[in-house]
Structure 1
Amino acid sequence: MVHVIYPFDHLNNGDVVPALEDLPTRDLMWAPAPHEIDPDIWPPPPDRDPAAWPSPTSVEHKGPPVMKSARNNPRNNRTADNKKTTGRNATTSQRKTSDVRNPRINTSKGHSAKTKDTSNKENSNTKDKQDRDNNNGDTDDEKHKEEERRFEPPSAVDGDLVDMLERDIVQKNPNIRWDDIADLTEAKRLLEEAVVLPMWMPDFFKGIRRPWKGVLMVGPPGTGKTMLAKAVATECGTTFFNVSSSTLTSKYRGESEKLVRLLFEMARFYAPSTIFIDEIDSLCSRRGSDSEHEASRRVKSELLVQMDGLGSATDEPAKVVMVLAATNFPWDIDEALRRRLEKRIYIPLPTQEGREALLHINLREVKVDPEVDLRTIAKKLDGYSGADITNVCRDASMMSMRRKIAGLKPEQIKQLAKEELDLPVTHQDFMEALAKCNKSVSKGDIQKYLTWMDEFGSS
């Protein structure tokens, strides 16, 4: 322990104290370093490599950046000569003081800010007016808000299920019109009365005149049931939900019922909506059969509750959810579902006028020989469905191409021009197509549909 002795020459008792220069230095107080005693054992630290450790460079100290002042008072302005002479800039405190002393500066700043705000408002108003003119009364911001309107599930756990439903089944404006569907005048009238008119006249369709909650389209395959559903969604401007059995099926217990509930909640959110369930017999067959699984029974029960239960009741005309179903096997549908599908419409095979109209619709994109009599061909297509007539027209339009490439090699086929292949469809082409394409619906099937409609039909 080192005792510090203050350098007083004499103390009160008369003792003499050594002077400051006589005190021991650091070299005497501390022992030498180990490398100073034995440099072989404790070598000195190596010198730094100048390439890795460059020599320190002196940094020039710079003052704060020069701030340009906007003061208009000539007494506070400095000339260039004064700046050179003094070599100093105005400090922050001086600038603040000058701003306070000169109130006219703040007034001008406020006035300029007001002018900028006014000009910005005028520009925004002009822009909004132009957007309204260009977008039929809606601005880009309003359109963006409408596009951002999205259904939020009541629970965050159901977010993935909602994303799957929106990605798979939500379709807006399928772009199919009534004119794109030939014949089926009675079916169009019933669908228009059941779906479209309640959207146009919501004040009339109230109480006992309330719109139908469900419509079932029954008929043989290929008669245009899916096309009618898309036309309904297009004509009345509703959100179209195209549902199949795979959409509402999950391997996890309880998730299929949850998908059905979320489907109807989304439909009410995006209302007015149309839920189209194609081949509904595969989703809602008769309950109580031996081959019925417990999971499918729960899905059917949830669907029945959502269609006509306490949670589905709503008095708002804008929240209409229409269930449109189609099936080729109406005799396999559950009785409770048949009751909820209040309108049951039969979609028959096309008539003579319908077949002729279908020929005109299918051949409007190809060249037809003037000698072709479509009325005669329509008579030969008796018993054919709409899909069968489409196949005949497709096959007939390819006959000229088949004759042209017969016996040619692939290199020669690639060199053919489109004008050589795009030839008018002749009467002979239709005769060859009719010989190859037969009808897909038998008379026995038609009789079964007519019998079921006589017993359960509601058109």
Structure 2
Amino acid sequence: MADTLTEINENTKMARETALFGQYDTSLVYYQGVIQQIQKYLSAIKDPDRRRKWMQARDMIVSECDQVKEICDTLASFKSNPRPSAYNSYDNQEIGSPFGDYARNDYSRHEEPTRDPDVWPPPTPVEHRPGPNYRGGARQPARKPEPARNRAAPSRAGPGDRRGPSQPSGRGRQPAPGQKDNKKKGDDGEKKFDPTGYDKDLVENLERDIVQKNPNVSWDSIADLVEAKALLKEAVILPLVIPDFFKGIRRPWKGVLMVGPPGTGKTMLAKAVATECGTTFFNVSSSTLTSKYHGESEKLVRILFEMARFYAPSTIFIDEIDSIGSKRGGGQEHEASRRVKSELLTQMDGVTATQSTDEEGENKIVMVLAATNFPWDLDEALRRRLEKRIYIPLPTEKGREDLLKINLKGVELASDVKLAEVAKKLDGYSGADITNVCRDAAMMSFRRRISGLNAEQIRMIPKEELELPPTMEDFTNAIKKVNKSVSNDDLERYKKWMEEFGST
């Protein structure tokens, strides 16, 4: 480890010294080697504070490398255009001009006069190409050369200066008129959220962990829940289909809360809504919005909603919202948790500002979907913002039969299996419970075949003997093994809460 640090230090020193002496090609080789060494060293660092400092050092080295590379490109452009524009203008003189013959004859015979090394030549338009993508993420598109009159005079600053030789000396460039903030194109041509002004690491974590452009879950993959589907279509999908109608008092809901026992399909409904709308789907959990660093949790909440507005129309689905939106004012509540709730409430009130159209005519609607198994633990202010509160019940007998068909799709069943009778025996089972019954029943014949055999003997069994169809007896035994996960007391509690706070 010590040898690596010494080598990084020596190579960095050589890169800067060679750049100051004008050996830019050699300096570029040193810089690229240092960047690779730091990147390799970062992979072995576990301490987050130390890792952050090394990442800052790497960014500084990358910036210096980009400046040296820009100098190399500028020098290469001078070599490809040996005759400055001042001499080329003589070639356009008319024949009758007193200087025309002299310009054509004299300068064609003699070499270009030697220039004073302390005087910079006139600026030459140079195409700026992006440097190597050492830091990962989307590559910035190449910048078009600016008009010479709008560019500042080149600086003689070394590679240690933060400004490049052809960059203006101000604090930063202002966006061009009409350019939208936080908007850039990715490699695939889609718009990409610009982390400028935010913590880049936080933005990258959110995009990597929670952004799903197409959940690919259809309504047909969700059995039963006819009333819940109809309410979600009215609350979420129709405002996107006919936005002109949903204005004023008929404006879209700020948020929709799905309440019900665990395993009834609340998460699947949220993904189906996002798929049907063609929206960007933000799948948020409590771990996504929590951080051990002071103040970062509130930043994550703010960045989440800024990204949702940028990618609008979008859907923010907060699963198990009671874990981050519980009642405030309790004796066991931590100060950081209270700040996160306050930021979440503030951002949800600001979501309505996105119900408009952008310059491209797209509907900018952000819908907040939330799901919880403990609605009685929610904060009162958060419950108010989730204006539409829908109960997701246990599946009916028809719904249970449909769930059996969906789960057993592609599985060959024995001739004595009657799914309608199996559905009757599953009264009180949730959708997740029914899935477990199907999985257990499908494994029954396999367990019987491999009983008492070792791994080598199991490997020699033909595939046809392993994939035996489950029988009615297998389903009966599976139902005995898999008990329902929702009690009658739980159902009664949900019923009382919906009678008091429901909004279906």
State if a TM-score over 0.5 links the two structures.
yes
Asked if the contact 1:213–1:323 (Cα under 8 Å) also holds between the matched residues in 2, the reply is: yes
Gaps of 5+ in 2: 1-103, 110-184, 358-362
Q: 1:266 aligns with which of 297, 300, 307?
A: 307
Q: 2:263 aligns with which of 218, 222, 227?
A: 222
Asked if the contact 1:256–1:299 (Cα under 8 Å) also holds between the matched residues in 2, the reply is: yes
Say if 2:191 is the partner of 1:149: yes
Say if 2:435 is the partner of 1:435: no
CA distance 1:346–1:315, change in 2 (3 Å): closer
Could you say what the CA RMSD is over the residues aligned between the two structures, in angstroms? 2.0
Partner of 1:276: 317
Say if 2:283 is the partner of 1:238: no
Say if 2:425 is the partner of 1:380: yes
Asked if the contact 1:182–1:354 (Cα under 8 Å) also holds between the matched residues in 2, the reply is: yes
TM (norm. structure 2) is 0.62
Over the matched positions of the two proteins, sequence identity in percent amounts to 73
Q: 1:360 aligns with which of 375, 399, 405?
A: 405
Q: 2:226 aligns with which of 157, 176, 185?
A: 185
**Which 10-residue stretch deviates more, 277-286 or 413-422?**
413-422
**How many angstroms does 1:371 deviate by?**
2.0
Asked if the contact 1:275–1:323 (Cα under 8 Å) also holds between the matched residues in 2, the reply is: yes
Q: What are the Cα deviations for residues 62-101 of structure 1, in whole angstroms up to 9, with x where unaligned?
A: xxxxxxxxxxxxxxxxxxxxxxxxxxxxxx979x89xxxx
Partner of 2:137: none
Partner of 1:48: none
Question: How many Å separate the matches in 2 of 1:202 and 1:361?
Answer: 34
Question: How many Å separate the matches in 1 of 2:405 and 2:105?
Answer: 88
Q: 1:313 aligns with which of 350, 353, 370?
A: 353
Asked if the contact 1:306–1:312 (Cα under 8 Å) also holds between the matched residues in 2, the reply is: no
Aligned length: 322
Counterpart AA for 2:192: R
Say which SS state the counterpart of residue 313 (structure 1) adopts. Answer: helix
Asked if the contact 2:282–2:314 (Cα under 8 Å) also holds between the matched residues in 1, the reply is: yes
Counterpart AA for 1:316: S
Gaps of 5+ in 1: 1-91, 98-142
**How many angstroms does 1:367 deviate by?**
0.6
Question: How many Å separate the matches in 2 of 1:259 and 1:450?
Answer: 35
Q: What are the Cα deviations for residues 122-168 of structure 1, in whole angstroms up to 9, with x where unaligned?
A: xxxxxxxxxxxxxxxxxxxxx97764411113415x11111111011
Show the 5 A alignment for 1:316-395: 316-317=356-357, 318-395=363-440
Q: What are the Cα deviations for residues 414-435 of structure 1, in whole angstroms up to 9, with x where unaligned?
A: 1112111111111011011111
Asked if the contact 2:213–2:281 (Cα under 8 Å) also holds between the matched residues in 1, the reply is: yes
CA distance 1:409–1:177, change in 2 (3 Å): same
CA distance 1:165–1:410, change in 2 (3 Å): same
Question: How many Å separate the matches in 1 of 2:367 and 2:254?
Answer: 5
Question: How many Å separate the matches in 1 of 2:188 and 2:356?
Answer: 21
Say which SS state the counterpart of residue 221 (structure 1) adopts. Answer: coil
**How many angstroms does 1:312 deviate by?**
5.1
Question: How many Å separate the matches in 2 of 1:404 and 1:314?
Answer: 60
Question: How many Å separate the matches in 2 of 1:206 and 1:145?
Answer: 37
Q: 1:253 aligns with which of 294, 297, 300?
A: 294
Partner of 2:254: 213
**How many angstroms does 1:319 deviate by?**
1.2
Say which SS state the counterpart of residue 445 (structure 1) adopts. Answer: helix
**How many angstroms does 1:224 deviate by?**
0.3
**How many angstroms does 1:451 deviate by?**
0.3
Q: What are the Cα deviations for residues 172-218 of structure 1, in whole angstroms up to 9, with x where unaligned?
A: 11110000000000000000111111111111111111111100000
Say if 2:245 is the partner of 1:204: yes
Say which SS state the counterpart of residue 346 (structure 2) adopts. Answer: helix
Question: How many Å separate the matches in 2 of 1:312 and 1:198?
Answer: 13
**How many angstroms does 1:408 deviate by?**
1.3
Say which SS state the counterpart of residue 192 (structure 2) adopts. Answer: coil
Asked if the contact 2:224–2:402 (Cα under 8 Å) also holds between the matched residues in 1, the reply is: yes
Partner of 1:450: 495
Asked if the contact 1:268–1:319 (Cα under 8 Å) also holds between the matched residues in 2, the reply is: yes
Say which SS state the counterpart of residue 344 (structure 1) adopts. Answer: strand
Counterpart AA for 1:222: G
Question: How many Å separate the matches in 2 of 1:370 and 1:193?
Answer: 42
Asked if the contact 1:350–1:386 (Cα under 8 Å) also holds between the matched residues in 2, the reply is: yes
**How many angstroms does 1:283 deviate by?**
0.4
Asked if the contact 2:355–2:366 (Cα under 8 Å) also holds between the matched residues in 1, the reply is: no
Say which SS state the counterpart of residue 150 (structure 1) adopts. Answer: strand
Question: How many Å separate the matches in 1 of 2:186 and 2:300?
Answer: 28
TM (norm. structure 1) is 0.68
Asked if the contact 1:225–1:326 (Cα under 8 Å) also holds between the matched residues in 2, the reply is: yes
Asked if the contact 2:354–2:366 (Cα under 8 Å) also holds between the matched residues in 1, the reply is: no
Question: How many Å separate the matches in 1 of 2:215 and 2:355?
Answer: 28
**How many angstroms does 1:323 deviate by?**
0.4
Where has structure 1 moved over 3 Å in runs of 4 or more?
143-148
Question: How many Å separate the matches in 2 of 1:326 and 1:174?
Answer: 17
Say which SS state the counterpart of residue 458 (structure 1) adopts. Answer: coil
